């Protein structure tokens, strides 16, 4: 087992807790490396996790080989993402306030006015509702996860994938900040879209970044 990797997970969990993104009942973090799957345990406060509390499973059999608690009840979201995309090495499922609010309304985070949305994410799509803790929750989102690194789960929260646990964390934090800006701008009204040529330029930039990441993975 990789103790340095476990410590990285703990560091990310503490930061996400400080940001109000996870709590004892919501949110889970995992990393896949060297044939093992490391994942946070079910029903534990993410701010107070310790090394021995991180569940370690064999990737193929999902036999638990480390950790004193069972894995998160949302493990199917994590294994679904790993099985779907070879470039995915870490998964975070969480319930940030603004992103989750969009998911409860089944609305994507989308705008042609904000370069950070277009250039980093294109947009943040929303999957239909799938029952938590069952295969359905990932199945209804799978087609979106093929194309996007962060997806809203209808009436539930967020699924984010990345090249490592810090990459995942950064995407979640950026997406939550972006969702707040988009929401407030829409409340103010008269949002000024970028010229179409600018939108296309940022879309091409985002496509190139995504292609490079996947090739590296």
Stretch 155-163: mean pLDDT, rounded?
Answer: 97
CB 94 within 8 A of CB 172: yes
The continuous run of DSSP H or E covering 216 comes out as helix 196-216
Q: Is the dihedral of CA 99, 102, 107, 110 positive or negative?
A: negative
Mean pLDDT of the region 22-40: 94
pTM of the shown model = 0.93
Rounded CA-CA distance 162/99 in Å is 18
Confidence of residue 216 (pLDDT cuts 50, 70, 90): confident
Other CB atoms closer than 10 Å to residue 169's CB: what's the count? 24
Q: Are strands 36-39 and 28-33 parallel, antiparallel or unpaired?
A: antiparallel
Where is 156: in which H helix or E strand?
Answer: none
161 contacts: CB under 8 Å, gap ≥ 6: 81, 85, 88, 90, 91, 145, 149, 150, 168
Work out whether the CA dihedral 106, 111, 117, 120 comes out positive or negative.
positive
Residue 66 half-sphere exposure toward CB, CA atoms < 13 A: 17
The band of 7, judged by pLDDT with boundaries at 50, 70 and 90, is very high
**What is the structure's pLDDT at 105?**
98
pLDDT at 217: 64
Residue 206's pLDDT is 85
Q: What separation in angstroms does the CA of 183 have from each of 13, 99, 110, 195?
A: 26, 10, 10, 21
| Banded pLDDT at 133 (limits 50, 70, 90) | confident
User: So what's the pLDDT on residue 135?
Assistant: 93
Alpha-carbon gap, residue 176 to 181, rounded angstroms? 9
pLDDT, mean of residues 166-184: 97
Between CA 41 and CA 45 the distance in angstroms is 9
- Choose the weakest-confidence range: 32-41, 52-61, 184-193, 205-214: 205-214
What would the pLDDT profile of 78-109 be if each residue is shown by its tens digit?
999 999 999 999 999 999 999 999 999 999 99
Contact 6, 51 (CB under 8 A): yes
Q: Do residues 142 and 169 make contact, with C-beta atoms less than 8 angstroms apart?
A: no
């Amino acid at each position: 087992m990789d103790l340095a990797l476990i410590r990285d997970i703990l560091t990310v969990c503490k930061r996400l807790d400080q940001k109000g993104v996870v709590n004892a009942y919501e949110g889970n973090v995992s990393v896949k490396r060297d044939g093992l799957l490391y994942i946070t345990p079910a029903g534990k406060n993410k701010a107070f996790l310790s090394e021995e509390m991180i569940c370690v499973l064999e990737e193929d059999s999902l036999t638990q080989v480390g950790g004193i608690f069972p894995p998160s009840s949302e493990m199917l979201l994590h294994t679904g993402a790993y099985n779907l995309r070879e470039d995915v090495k870490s998964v975070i499922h969480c319930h940030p306030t603004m992103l989750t609010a969009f998911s409860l309304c089944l609305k994507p985070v989308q705008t042609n006015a904000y370069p950070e949305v277009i250039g980093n994410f294109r947009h943040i799509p929303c999957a239909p509702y799938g029952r938590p803790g069952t295969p359905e929750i990932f199945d209804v989102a799978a087609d979106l996860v093929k194309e996007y690194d962060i997806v809203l789960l209808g009436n539930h929260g967020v699924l984010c994938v990345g090249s490592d646990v810090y990459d995942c964390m950064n995407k979640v934090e950026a997406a939550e900040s972006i969702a707040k800006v988009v929401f407030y701008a829409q409340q103010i009204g008269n949002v000024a879209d970028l010229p179409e040529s600018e939108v296309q330029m940022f879309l091409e930039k985002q496509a190139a970044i995504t292609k490079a990441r996947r090739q590296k993975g």
